[in-house]
């Protein structure tokens, strides 16, 4: 598999209801675990051919390459080893569409860094839409374990911004 195909595969798995996907092809093997896996969601095992819709989505689709809304690390292969095992990790998701900023200004410190403790109601980031700067508050308390979006990048509704360990 080339990089584009792997990228497409990750997107496809993430959009499905699967918690875990394993593919073995001769010497090549890939294991993808999604956020749902870490939440311990009960999912039925489905056989590979049922997962895809009946049309063939070419895995090296050129359309995939220019996606500006990159869901960085959302369900990548690195998610499995980095997340703490056996702990309760919850997501903070974007409630709106806009541009994500980690601080209130270029020279200001980030609202929430990895390792920071946040309380319910603390501002964790700013999302700007149409010149309006919305302060996004955390609805949970815990420790930030991962920041999933780069500063000044576009985010969509329900996009995962932070992982918080409770």
Residue 107's alpha-carbon distances to 29, 50, 56, 102, in angstroms, are 44, 50, 48, 11
Cβ distance to another protein smaller for residue 97 or 123: 97
Site string for another protein, 93-112 (x = CB under 8 A): ---xxxx-------------
- The residue written with tokens 């360990």 in the block is 165
- Smallest gap from residue 30 Cβ to another protein (A): 22
Query: What tokens does 30 get?
Result: 């890939």
Site string for another protein, 41-80 (x = CB under 8 A): ---------x-xxxx-x-----x--xxxx-----------
Beta bridge partners of 20: 33
- Smallest gap from residue 128 Cβ to another protein (A): 9
Helix (H/G/I), strand (E/B), else coil: 16: coil
C-beta atoms surrounding 29 within 10 Å:
9
Interface residues toward another protein, by CB under 8 A: 15, 50, 52-55, 57, 63, 66-69, 96-99, 129-130, 154-159
């Amino acid at each position: 598999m080339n990089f584009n195909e792997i990228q497409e595969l990750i997107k496809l798995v993430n959009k499905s209801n699967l918690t875990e996907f394993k593919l073995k092809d001769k010497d090549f093997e890939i294991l993808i675990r999604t956020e749902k896996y870490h939440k311990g969601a009960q999912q039925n095992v489905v056989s590979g051919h049922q997962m895809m819709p009946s049309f063939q989505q070419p895995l090296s689709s050129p359309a995939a390459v220019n996606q500006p809304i990159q869901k960085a690390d959302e369900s990548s292969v690195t998610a499995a080893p980095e997340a703490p095992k056996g702990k309760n990790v919850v997501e903070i998701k974007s409630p709106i569409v806009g541009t994500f900023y980690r601080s209130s200004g270029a020279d200001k410190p980030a609202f929430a860094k990895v390792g920071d403790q946040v309380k319910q109601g603390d501002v964790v980031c700013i999302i700007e839409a149409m010149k309006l700067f919305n302060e996004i508050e955390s609805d949970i308390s815990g420790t930030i374990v991962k920041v999933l979006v780069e500063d000044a990048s576009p985010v969509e509704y329900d996009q995962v911004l932070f992982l918080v360990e409770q």
